[in-house]
Structure 1
Amino acid sequence: MIKNQGISLDDLIVQGSGNIVSNMGGEKVMLSVQNGKYYNLGEMGGVIWDLMKEPISVTQLVSTLVAEYDVDQATCEGQVISFLETVRRENLIQLGDEVNR
């Protein structure tokens, strides 16, 4: 079920199950068995995807990226939340109460 509220920095996120992910030319591509669709996560999307193997807060995710890449906090937050909202609409991640701890 898709919720109408947006993703916040305090939310806990994790990869959804049932996805087959592979590296192709430095980018991550994914097949969602549930959706029957292919997705190109790109290079940074692939990094974010890898960081979500275990439940992680959006704040922790952003902090990790800011420490490793030349990006300011505000830009990183905006781009990460945009990416997460996109993959959430496709039911590729679990968020908040959906995360099985």
Structure 2
Amino acid sequence: MRLRTTDISARTIGGETIVLDLPNSRYFAITGVGSRVFELLAEERCMDDLVTTIVAEYDVDEPTARRDVAVFVDRLRQARLLA
């Protein structure tokens, strides 16, 4: 899975990632670990890759990271931000 590469624009400012979905005139504000997952999804990644990276970079156990990343990815899917 990866982010759509057309029609969205994203910038991280002060620890917050602002995402503009241009065709739908929507914006999203992403903070915390979500910003890191969003950044990782600039390239093709599987769930295991995302979880492994989050566990290595943050003070979180694997089951919690897997659950939280899955919820976040599902929200990106619902918002149609994934390719």
Asked if these proteins are the same fold (TM beyond 0.5), I'd say: yes
Gaps of 5+ in 1: 1-12, 95-101
Between structure 1 and structure 2, the one with the greater Rg is: 1
Q: Which residue of 2 aligns with 1:15?
A: 3
Number of matched pairs: 82
**Residue identity in the other structure for 2:75:** T
- Going by fraction, where is helix more abundant, 1 or 2? 2
Distance 2:17 2:68 in 1: 17
Give unpaired runs (5+ residues) of structure 2.
none
Deviation at 1:23, TM superposition (A): 1.5
Higher strand share: 1
Alignment of structure 1 residues 34-49 onto 2, 5 Å:
34-49=23-38
RCO higher in structure (CA 8 A, sep ≥6): 1
Residues 28, 43 of structure 1: 8 Å contact kept? no
| TM-align CA RMSD | 1.0
Give the ranges of 4+ consecutive aligned residues of structure 1 lying more than 4 Å apart after TM superposition: none
